[in-house]
């Protein structure tokens, strides 16, 4: 299929979109929690993948390549958005560039726009809201692990992270999720 | 061989939650309420994650993508 698509066949491209549109859109939607925006990012992802398909290396899992591009698009967006939020609200007490990045991502994340009707039906459940409270880096790891069923090694490869970091992120993410879900019951 | 009295680590708990932990290690749960509580909580979260629905983009998504992709037409021409 991918080999066929590499020759630029319309039908093969469509088949690849059909096969991956739901997983890619679902990941992006859970990352940015805005349907229209997730769709823009998904579109951007597929255009990049299909126009760049000649550079695809077959030793890399094709879905990993798509998720890598999708995740980068989401993280870039969240980072840009948080910088906007910061410049509006004034910088927090961050001193080093790393702290700025860390706090800005979290700030942007919290400054979430309200969900519309469809979005709150789709993303309003307790587990979805708990996922939304995770740092974006934790969120993509946990979604790839348990929604896509990726192994730790595949996630490390997809997200360009050391294996140990992936494990730490996933364990922390599950811990935080448990905490958020328990809070709700008290 | 791992000692049956050893607590389960995070990886083992994840395996157990997925029904993949070897019986020899899973037996530890019968004797250790600490690990049992921990494993049960972890299982609940993992189950909720695994059951998350997949969402679909709106109708015509593929067409909108294809409109911006370079397709190598059978004739050998590049069309937008
Ligand atoms: Zn134990």
Quick check: A43 and B61 CB within 8 A? yes
Q: How many CA atoms lie within 13 A of A44 on its CB side?
A: 16
The tens digit of pLDDT for each residue in B45-55 reads 999 999 999 99
**Alpha carbon distances (Å) from A47 to A14, B54, B71:** 12, 21, 11
Specify the pLDDT at position A102: 55
Per-residue pLDDT of B8-30, as tens digits, reads: 999 999 999 989 999 999 999 99
Three-state DSSP class for residue A171? helix
Distance from CA of A116 to the nearest CA of B (A): 15
Q: What is the pLDDT of residue B57?
A: 97
Tallying the residues shown for chain B, one arrives at 80
Residue B49 belongs to a domain: yes
ipTM reported for the complex surpasses 0.85? no
In a domain, B75, yes or no: no
Q: Which residues of A touch B45 (CB under 8 A)?
A: 174, 177-178, 181
Give a yes or no: residue B80 inside a domain: no
3-class DSSP assignment, residue B2 = coil
Owner of token pair 């090694």? A153
Question: Does the distance separating the beta carbons of B61 and A42 come in below 8 Å?
Answer: yes
pLDDT at A59: 85
Which tokens belong to B24?
Answer: 């020899």
* Mean pLDDT in residue range B70-80: 53
Cα–Cα distance, A170 to A137 (Å, whole number): 10
User: Average pLDDT of each block of 10 consecutive residues along chain A (186 residues)?
Assistant: 75 93 98 96 96 88 95 94 61 54 50 78 95 96 96 96 96 95 74
Domains and CATH numbers, chain A: 1-83 (1.10.1740.10)
Residue B73 resides in a domain: no
Nearest partner of A25 among A60, A66, A64, A62, judged by Cα: A66
Q: Which of B11, B55, B66 sits opposite A22 (nearest CB)?
A: B55
**Taking CB atoms and an 8 Å limit, are A9 and B71 in contact across chains?**
yes
- Three-state DSSP at B72 gives strand
Residue B46: which domain range?
Answer: 4-68
How many whole angstroms separate alpha carbon A76 and alpha carbon A92? Answer: 20
Residue B38 domain-assigned (yes or no): yes
B74 within a domain of the structure (yes/no): no
Distance from the Cα of B48 to chain A's closest Cα (Å) equals 7
The rounded distance, in Å, linking the Cα atoms of B23 and B19 is: 10
Provide the token pair at A84: 């906007």
Q: Is residue B61 part of a domain?
A: yes
Confirm whether B35 is domain-assigned. yes
pLDDT for residue A85: 64
């Amino acid at each position: 299929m991918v080999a066929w698509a590499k020759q630029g066949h319309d039908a093969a491209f469509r088949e690849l979109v059909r096969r991956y549109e739901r997983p890619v859109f679902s990941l992006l939607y859970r990352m940015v929690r805005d349907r229209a925006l997730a769709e823009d990012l998904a579109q951007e992802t597929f255009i990049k993948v299909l126009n760049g398909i000649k550079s695809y290396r077959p030793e890399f899992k094709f879905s990993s390549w798509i998720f890598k591009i999708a995740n980068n698009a989401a993280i870039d967006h969240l980072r840009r958005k948080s910088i906007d939020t910061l410049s509006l609200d004034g910088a927090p007490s961050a001193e080093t560039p790393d702290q700025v990045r860390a706090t800005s991502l979290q700030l942007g994340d919290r400054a979430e726009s309200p969900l519309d009707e469809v979005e709150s039906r789709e993303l309003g459940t307790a587990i979805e809201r708990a996922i939304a409270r995770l740092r974006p880096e934790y969120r993509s790891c946990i979604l790839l692990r348990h929604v896509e069923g990726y192994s730790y090694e595949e996630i490390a490869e997809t997200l360009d992270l050391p294996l140990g970091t992936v494990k730490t992120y996933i364990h922390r993410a599950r811990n935080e999720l448990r905490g958020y879900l328990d809070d709700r019951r008290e | 061989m791992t000692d049956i009295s050893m607590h389960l680590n995070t990886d083992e708990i994840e395996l157990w939650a997925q029904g993949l932990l070897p019986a020899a290690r899973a037996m530890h749960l019968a004797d250790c309420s600490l690990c049992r509580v921990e494993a049960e909580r972890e299982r609940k979260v993992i189950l909720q994650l695994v059951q998350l629905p997949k969402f679909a983009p709106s109708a015509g998504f593929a067409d909108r993508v294809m409109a911006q992709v370079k397709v190598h037409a059978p004739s050998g021409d590049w069309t937008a």
